[in-house]
Chain A
Amino acid sequence: MIVAVTAKGTHLSDEVDPRFGRAPYILIVDTETMKYESLDNSENVNAFKGAGIQAATMVADKGVEVLLTGYCGPNAFRTVQAAGMKVVSDVTGTVEQAVKTFLGGNVTYSEEANTEGHW
């Protein structure tokens, strides 16, 4: 399975960034091999048109099935859902820990945005 994790850095050992749209990086991780690709999210942050939507579109293009993040606003959440992805919110720790916790099954999928709209 391919998951996306919002991150403060480019490695699995970096902390999860709780912000979805404005996280500096988003790591695309293959949970079977733990191989990953680091996406620079700065272009979306500096698009000045709604970072969450841009980030969600970028992640959707990578075939991601589940997004692991801290919080996700309503516009980003709608975009992520439309792309067929599930969202796990309130994720903390390192990216690697987040993926392992997810694989351990100790997660709840979000049914709605967990923060207000922020552009």
Chain B
Amino acid sequence: MDDQEFEVLINKIQNEVFTEAKDALGEKGFDRWRNPKYFGVMAEADSHARMKGSCGDTMEMYIRVKDNRVEQVSYVTDGCSSSSIAGSFTAEMAMGKTFEEVLDLTGPDVLHEIGTFPKAEEHCAHLAVTTLHEAVNCFLVEQMKGEKQGI
């Protein structure tokens, strides 16, 4: 197989991947996979958490807080499209919410917002939400320690 034939085959496989992914993730999920909003390390975050899911994927959540609300959220994952989509929607759903509202957020809430999602990948939504909760918890613990020390 020469370089040109190889490139043609790669493009063919790539197109098949996009078709498969669209079927599995739906238009909304597919679009978010290709355009992962809120992906990246947040500079000067107020809190951060990292957790590893049962599938081996790592999820990180960064939050910035203002007036007792989660003002901004970003995520980083080394996982597959499902982890990235779940992280992105979780971040989006948490922004602007109070701590209590964020802690009430569940995996099924995120899955409902995404719409179509592979059944076998639903744990990704739970991982994203659990990691976000951990970031909020860490912030609250640090805040409480600060208050005790009169900071």
Chain A residues engaging chain B, CB cutoff 8 angstroms: 18-19, 22, 24, 45-46, 48-50, 53, 57, 60, 75, 78-79, 82-84, 117-119
Provide the main secondary structure of the chain B interface: helix
Taking the complex as formed, is B131 at the interface, i.e. its CB lies under 8 A from any CB of chain A?
A: no
**Given A22-B80, A48-B33, A118-B80, do A83 and B14 touch, yes or no (CB 8 Å)?**
no
Q: Give complex CA distance A14, B87 in Å.
A: 28
CB-CB under 8 A from A49, the residues of chain B are: 14, 17-18, 34
Residues of B1-58 contacting chain A, CB below 8 A: 1, 6, 9-10, 13-14, 16-18, 20-21, 33-36, 39, 56
CA distance A84 to B35 in the complex (A): 32
Residue B96 is within 8 A (CB to CB) of chain A in the complex: no
Nearest-Cβ distance from residue B19 to partner chain A, whole angstroms: 11
Number of interface residues of B (CB under 8 A): 22
The answer on a CB contact under 8 Å between B80 and A75 is no
Closest 4 CB pairs of A and B: A50-B17, A119-B81, A118-B80, A119-B21
Interface residues of B, Cβ cutoff 8 Å to A? 1, 6, 9-10, 13-14, 16-18, 20-21, 33-36, 39, 56, 78-81, 84
- Complex contact A53–B10 (CB within 8 A): yes
Q: Which residue among B33, B34, B81 has the maximum number of chain A CB atoms within 10 Å of its CB? A: B81
Chain B residue, CB-CB nearest to A83 = B6
Extra contacts, 11 of them, besides A45-B78, A46-B39, A82-B1 (Cβ < 8 A), are A49-B17, A49-B34, A50-B14, A50-B17, A57-B10, A60-B6, A75-B13, A82-B6, A117-B17, A119-B17, A119-B33
**Do A84 and B81 contact each other (CB < 8 Å), given the known contacts A49-B17, A60-B6?**
no
Complex contacts, A24 vs chain B, CB 8 Å: 78
A74 CA to B94 CA, complexed, in Å = 36
Contacts of A19 on B, CB cut-off 8 Å? 56
Residues in A with CB closer than 8 Å to B80 are 22, 118-119
Q: Given contacts A48-B84, A83-B6, is CB(A22)–CB(B17) below 8 Å?
A: no
Residues on A with C-beta less than 8 A from B13 are 50, 53, 75, 78-79
B10 contacts A79, C-beta separation under 8 Å = yes
B16–A75 contact, CB under 8 A?
A: yes
Contact A53 to B9, CB < 8 A, known contacts A22-B78, A24-B78, A48-B33 = no
